[in-house]
Amino acid sequence: MQKIAMTTPIVEMDGDEMTRVIWKMLKDELILPFVELKTEYYDLGLKVRDETDDRITTDASNAIKKYGVGVKCATITPNAARVKEYDLKQMWKSPNGTIRSILDGTVFRTPILIDSIKPAVRTWKKPITIARHAYGDVYRAVEYRVEQPGKAELVFTDKGGNEISRQCIYEFDGAGVLQGMHNRDASIRSFAHACFQYALSVKQDLWFSTKDTISKQYDQTFKLLFEEIYEQAYRAAFEKAGITYFYTLIDDAVARVIRSEGGFVWACKNYDGDVMSDMVSTAFGSLAMMTSVLVSPDGNYEYEAAHGTVTRHYYKYLAGEETSTNPMATLFAWSGAFKKRGEMDGLADLQRFGESMEKAALQTLQDGVMTKDLVGLVEGETPKAVSTADFLKAVRERLERLL
Ligand code: NAP
Ligand code: MG
* pLDDT attached to residue 297: 81
Q: What is the pLDDT of residue 380?
A: 85
Residues 6 or more apart from 186 whose CB is under 8 A from it?
A: none
Residue 105: per-residue pLDDT: 80
Instruction: Collect all residues with Cβ–Cβ distance below 8 Å to 319 and sequence separation of at least 6.
Output: none
How confident is the model over 108-128, as pLDDT tens digits?
Answer: 999 999 988 889 999 999 999
Q: Express each pLDDT in 371-387 by its tens digit.
A: 999 998 998 888 999 99
Dihedral angle at the C-alpha atoms of 379, 384, 388, 389, nearest 10 degrees? -150
Q: Does residue 288 have its Cβ closer than 6 Å to ligand 1?
A: yes
376 lines ligand 1 (CB under 6 A): no
Q: Is the CB of 358 under 6 A from ligand 1?
A: no
CB 337 within 8 A of CB 77: no
| Per-residue pLDDT at 100 | 86
Distance from the alpha carbon of residue 358 to the mean position of ligand 1, in angstroms = 22
Ligand nearest to the Cα of 287, by number: 1
Beta carbons within 10 angstroms of residue 9's beta carbon: 17
For residues 103 and 97, give the distance between their C-alpha atoms in angstroms, rounded to a whole number.
10
Task: Answer whether 323 contacts ligand 1 (Cβ < 6 A).
Answer: no
Write down the pLDDT at residue 39.
98
Determine the angle formed by the axes of helices 388-402 and 348-366, rounding to 10 degrees. 130
pLDDT at 281: 86
- For 306-364, strand residue ranges (E) read none
Nearest to 308 by CA among 61, 96, 38: 96
The per-residue pLDDT for 97 is 86
What is each CA distance from 144 to 147, 157, 165, 179, 395, in whole angstroms? 9, 20, 20, 6, 54
Q: Which of 72, 76, 292, 307 should be mutated for ligand 1, with most atoms under 8 A from CB?
A: 307
312 pocket-lining for ligand 1 (C-beta < 6 Å): yes
Regions of the chain where pLDDT drops below 70: none
Distance 207 CA to ligand 1 centre (A): 29
Cα–Cα distance for residue pair 201/166, rounded to 1 Å = 44
